[in-house]
């Protein structure tokens, strides 16, 4: 798969086969992703891969916290509002997903179910957490975003699916404690990874993009 095809064919996968990914392949993907650029080559990313019984126990803990309505406390705060252009894109996404699934995704009950699916990591065989030292500057958040994109592209090129998950960091303190990640680290994003189950309707949905002409300003 060439680079252009890899970028264009990548999509967020929300349903996986039970088959585990060989450890060597996951390590190869991460070794590829670490070629990502970073400010002054600081490489401000750390990676935790969780599988098997440990992942199941993590899911049970997160689902328990949700059932208790425990207050969320992500290290990287979730957005509270959006400019109108971005809100319009979110609304359009929800409309597309609703048409694909037949569900009203603005229904609070379905939002809760979405969190439950996140906490189950969409039944993927592996969960990944990306984190970094909390004293790092905002530039390092940009850098770890580049790493995350490279990781997902490398996964796609290797026949795997993935999806970045903000919800997976809702209970950052508890997750870090469970995984043995120091409190001095900030949890940036969770990710599910595995072999995609393309028979599921949710995985057949392809989101659109804003026309390039609306994004680019030329000065000559």
Domains of the chain and CATH, by start: 15-79+119-204 (3.40.109.10)
pLDDT tens for 128-180 read: 999 999 999 999 999 999 999 999 999 999 999 999 999 999 999 999 999 99
Quick count: other Cβ atoms within 10 Å of Cβ 23? 11
Look up residue 5 and give its two tokens: 């095809």
Q: Is the Cα dihedral 154, 163, 48, 35 positive or negative?
A: positive
Question: What integer pLDDT is reported at residue 102 of this predicted model?
Answer: 72
CA 174 to chain centre: 18
Question: What integer pLDDT is reported at residue 105 of this predicted model?
Answer: 67
Residues of the chain predicted below pLDDT 70 = 103, 105
Contact 151, 58 (CB under 8 A): no
Look up residue 207 and give its two tokens: 């989101």
């Amino acid at each position: 798969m060439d680079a252009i095809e890899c970028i264009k064919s990548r999509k967020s996968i929300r349903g996986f086969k039970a088959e585990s990914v060989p450890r060597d392949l996951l390590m190869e993907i991460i070794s590829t992703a670490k070629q990502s650029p970073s400010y002054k080559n600081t490489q401000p990313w750390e990676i935790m891969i969780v599988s098997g019984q440990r992942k199941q126990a993590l899911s049970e803990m997160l689902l328990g916290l949700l059932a208790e309505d425990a207050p969320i406390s992500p290290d990287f705060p979730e957005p509270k509002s959006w400019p109108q252009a971005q809100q319009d894109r979110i609304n359009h996404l929800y409309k597309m997903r609703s048409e694909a699934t037949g569900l009203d995704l603005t229904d609070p009950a379905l939002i809760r179910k979405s969190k439950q699916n996140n906490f189950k990591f969409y039944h993927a065989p592996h969960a990944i957490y990306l984190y970094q030292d909390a004293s790092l500057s905002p530039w390092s958040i940009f850098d770890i975003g580049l790493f995350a994109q490279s990781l997902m592209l490398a996964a796609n090129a290797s026949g795997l699916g993935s999806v970045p998950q903000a919800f997976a960091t809702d209970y950052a303190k508890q997750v870090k404690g469970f995984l043995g990640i120091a409190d001095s680290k900030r949890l940036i994003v969770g990710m599910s990874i595995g072999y995609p189950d393309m028979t599921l309707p949710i995985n057949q949905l392809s989101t659109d993009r804003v026309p390039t002409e609306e994004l680019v300003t030329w000065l000559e």
